[in-house]
Amino acid sequence: MPKISVIVPVYKVEKYIHRCIDSILNQTFSDFELILVDDGSPDNCGRICDEYAECDDRIKVIHKENGGLSDARNAGIDWAFKNSGSEWLTFIDSDDWVHEKYLELLFAAASENGVSLSSCGHKPLKDISETENIIENDDVIIDSPENMFQKGLEYTEYNFTTAWGRLYKKDLFEKIRYPKGRLHEDELTTYKLIYQCDKIAVIKAPLYYYFQNAEGIMSQKDSPAKMSDRLTGVLEQIDFFYKNGFPVSFGVAIKHYAFLIKEYLPSGSAKKQLSKASSFEKEYGDYLPQEFKKYGYKKYLTGKAFKIENFKNDIKNVKRDKGSIFAALWALKNYWKI
């Protein structure tokens, strides 16, 4: 049985699917199976997948009704659990492609260091002609999830959010699936997998090539639903870190939440999110610093150390839970020294 199941959700990528599949079949590490999940694609993707399967017995094709990216990934995961003896999973989006040593280096990083998850850098590109075949640095860093999450906002090689660009021990998914029907599904799921591990292997080299697709989901303008799902996802992270005893990650997640509030605040989505957010001070008081607890709402807004006129004007008429605003202001003030 293959060691690795490579899962590729496929939907409306007729122009790019060959590039993706070919990069996988050309891997230097060959002990894998490729699970192509045709998510009810209305173009010729389903037929193209079947043609590849006829030529390579490592390829399995699942045809299903359209259910979205999460549902397609879940279909691949379920198939791997029921039908394969593989020990590892990795995800590749069907308009992206990977370096020929993607599997080899991720597998070596995980197996040689005795960890259940390895991750690599990625590089956004517009065309496969921009691919760099030479790997300048394939060093492996062994790090804790807390350190990885803290650095993830600053360094590409510490990408903490995406499903792709990683090799997972399959049993990490024993009780976890991607949330169907929600946007930012990676942000709602990846941290739950990572925090099952004591250590993570991180390869700095960009082995995953992320296609800057003008037609793709990530290139679309943020909608209220998209922003709401993202904010909700970060609140879920905050709650997870608090309940499971990860104080460093808890603080970083609040910083991230504060950044998103600042970015999204003029939208109705952010206002709605703030109005329904549960009180940080009540629920997470033992994790928040004394400085945060002793200052009131007005002092934070009017204090000399905090002068963001636009931010003040945006939030002053918002019906909101004060605890979440406190948390945002605390993070902005203490992390960015505003």
Q: Is the model's pLDDT at 190 over the cut of 80?
A: yes
Torsion of CA 193, 194, 196, 202, to 10 degrees: 130
Domain endpoint, select from 201, 219, 237: 219
Same domain, 134 and 201: yes
pLDDT surpassing 80 at residue 221: no
Short-list 76, 72, 80, 108, CA closest to 170: 80
38 and 119 housed in the same domain = yes
Q: What is the percent of the chain where pLDDT is above 70?
A: 68
pLDDT interval class at 158 (50, 70, 90):
low
d(CA 42, CA 235): 36
Residue 129 has pLDDT above 90, yes or no: no
Both 186 and 263 in a single domain?
Answer: no
> What tokens were used for 138?
């394939």
Q: How much is the pLDDT for 49? A: 98
What is the percentage of the chain residues whose pLDDT exceeds 90? 48
Residue 118: per-residue pLDDT: 97
Final residue of a domain: which of 203, 219, 235? Answer: 219
Give the Cα separation of 109 and 20 in Å (integer): 23
- Among residues 219, 253, 282, the one where a domain terminates is 219
Residues 101 and 124 in one domain: yes
User: How much is the pLDDT for 282?
Assistant: 53
Averaged over 23-37, what is the pLDDT? 98
Of 83-87, 149-153, 166-170, 199-203, least confident by mean pLDDT is 149-153
- In this model, does residue 114 exceed pLDDT 60? yes
Per-residue pLDDT for 22 more than 80? yes
In this structure, the answer to whether residues 265 and 210 fall within a common structural domain is no
* Residue listed under structure tokens 């990216």: 69
Question: Mind listing the pLDDT tens digit for each residue in 222-239?
Answer: 666 777 777 778 878 878
Same-domain status, 192 and 259: no
Please give the pLDDT value at position 231: 76
Position 41 scores a pLDDT of 97
Residues 241, 126, single domain; the answer is: no
**Residue 169 pLDDT more than 60?**
yes
Give the predicted TM-score (pTM) of the model.
0.80
Report CA Rg, the chain.
21
Looking at the structure, tell me whether residues 146 and 233 fall in a common domain: no
Tell me: do 53 and 117 sit in the same domain: yes
Question: What CATH number is associated with residue 47?
Answer: 3.90.550.10
Mean pLDDT of the chain: 78
* One domain for residues 228 and 213: no
For residues 132 and 61, the model is more confident at 61
Number of domains in the chain: 2
Taking the C-alpha atoms of residue 162 and residue 151, their distance in angstroms, rounded to an integer, is 15
Q: Which of 259-263, 300-304, 334-338 has the highest mean pLDDT?
A: 259-263
The better pLDDT of the pair 205, 222 is held by 205
More confident residue, 301 or 86: 86
Residue 296's DSSP bridge partners are none
Residue 335: pLDDT band (50, 70, 90) is: very low
| Between 103 and 133, residue with greater pLDDT | 103
Q: Residue 93: is its pLDDT beyond 60?
A: yes
Same-domain status, 123 and 246: no
How far is Cα 331 from Cα 290, in angstroms, rounded to an integer? 13
Per the structure, the complete domain to which residue 133 belongs is given by 4-219
pLDDT tens-digit readout, 260-302:
765 665 545 545 544 444 344 455 555 454 444 444 433 433 4
- Mark whether 139 and 267 lie in a shared domain: no
Predicted pLDDT of residue 70:
95
Q: Quote the pLDDT of residue 157.
A: 55
pLDDT > 50? residue 306: no
Closest CA to 116 of 193, 221, 38, 53: 193
